Amino acid sequence: MSAITPITVYAQRTTPGTFAANFDAFMLQFCNSTISEMNTAFGSMTLVSLSTTSATSNDIGTGDKTFTVEAGKSFLPGHALKIAQTSNVANWMHGEVVSYSGTTLVVKIRDTAGSGTITDWTITFAGVYVETDWKAVNAVNYTATPASTSTITMLSDLTGVIKQGMSLQYTYNGTTYYGMVGAITSNLLTVWGAPLDVLYDLTSLKYGGGTMRQVWVTVPSYYEDASDATLIANDLDSQFVWTMPTSYLVYFSVYSRVHDTGTHGQASVRINSQECNTTAGGETIAANTTWYPTVVNIDTTYYDVNFGEVVEVTSVKNGNGDALDLTVMMVFLTP
């Protein structure tokens, strides 16, 4: 594509004696030359430069994928691309350009549909990539039957896109549950939040959607001198009222600067006066300055919190009642 000829005449207010003549000359050159050359340039920028094909063998799946394509395309980092099987458009991937040099195109795949190893691709421009809310994990990338109540076996390494601390949404036995990524390796995803069930296969697994909120409550001094289901009200003379949309308590962890010197005490969270831990009384605090997390000890019957409901911190006295300085960290997910 040839360059547009620069305009050589300018009208300047600093030279009022020649302003009118120069302005006329500027407009004449702009209309007769520049506009014509711009039309020619835009005409050459057809969609052909934003589409291509590839015979590179790639599996349907998320993460970085490399394709051998035609040179001279207008792909830039951040451009969104739809990559579909030419012979079956139901198999597709969607993501953004990581790099494009010569005939090598690298795309970070975010969303997929279908499955299989494909060698006939049609690649088309789809604008600038904007991440969707929940990103689906294709079923070929994990084992549907959970390995345990807190782990999913991964068949593909998705550590490049799924990160520790991200939100999770998973469905089994017709019900959708919420949690977060406790840890992830190339072959195992650890779930914190609503427990999985090894008797039911996952029918959906998504990540990265919604809004995560981390809330801290600290109860100073002797908080465990008696069993108390309303520490915020009784020890802090306050109230924690939820004023956000319906959300889910997917994780909490308790910490005591000094634990009970006798039989270990417990601490937990209640929503709308209901225990959120599957263990009565919550997590046992067995040592000083140590975090005791729920992992999947979340009671899904009561882990939802709705507008106007009260969240409380609880303690159970099992020993001498001399535990000091409790901290409770809660993570809420608004899907």
Q: What is the 3-state secondary structure (H, E, C) of the chain?
A: CCCCCCCCCCCCCCCHHHHHHHHHHHHHHHHHHHHHHHHHHHHHCCHHHHEEEECCCEECCCEEEEEECCCCCCCCCCEEEEEEECCEEEEEEEEEEEEEECCEEEEEEEEEECCCEECCEEEEEEEECCCCCCEECCHHHECCCCCECCEEEECCCCCCCCCCCCEEEEEECCEEEEEEEEEECCCEEEEEECCCCCCCCEEEEEECCCEEEEEEEEEEEECCCCCECCHHHHHCCCCEECCCCCEEEEEEEEEEEECCCCCCEEEEEEECCEECECCCCCEEECCCCCCEECCCCECCCCCEECCCCEEEEEEECCCCCCCEEEEEEEEEEEC
Averaged pLDDT for residues 14-34: 65
Q: Give backbone dihedrals phi and psi of 141, rounded to 5 degrees, phi first.
A: -95, 0
- Check pLDDT > 50 for residue 17: yes
Tens-place pLDDT, residues 53-97: 999 999 998 889 999 999 988 888 878 888 999 999 888 888 888
Structure confidence at residue 209 (pLDDT): 93
Average pLDDT, the chain: 88
* Confidence grade of residue 27 (pLDDT, cut at 50, 70, 90): low
Tens-place pLDDT, residues 271-285: 999 999 999 999 999
Write out the two tokens for 15. 């030279």
Structure confidence at residue 299 (pLDDT): 98
- Check pLDDT > 70 for residue 127: no
- Check pLDDT > 80 for residue 38: no
Distance, in Å, from the CA atom of 39 to the CA atom of 17, rounded to the nearest integer, reads 34
- Check pLDDT > 60 for residue 104: yes
Averaged pLDDT for residues 295-301: 97
Structure confidence at residue 45 (pLDDT): 45
Structure confidence at residue 10 (pLDDT): 62
Q: Are 157 and 121 in contact (CB under 8 A)?
A: no
Burial (CB < 10 A; 0-12, 13-18, 19+), residue 289, is exposed
Largest CA distance in the chain: 97
Structure confidence at residue 32 (pLDDT): 61
Averaged pLDDT for residues 223-242: 96
- Check pLDDT > 50 for residue 185: yes
The number of angstroms, rounded, from the C-alpha of 170 to the middle of its chain's C-alpha atoms is 14
* Confidence grade of residue 133 (pLDDT, cut at 50, 70, 90): confident
Averaged pLDDT for residues 134-143: 93
Tens-place pLDDT, residues 252-272: 999 999 999 999 999 999 999
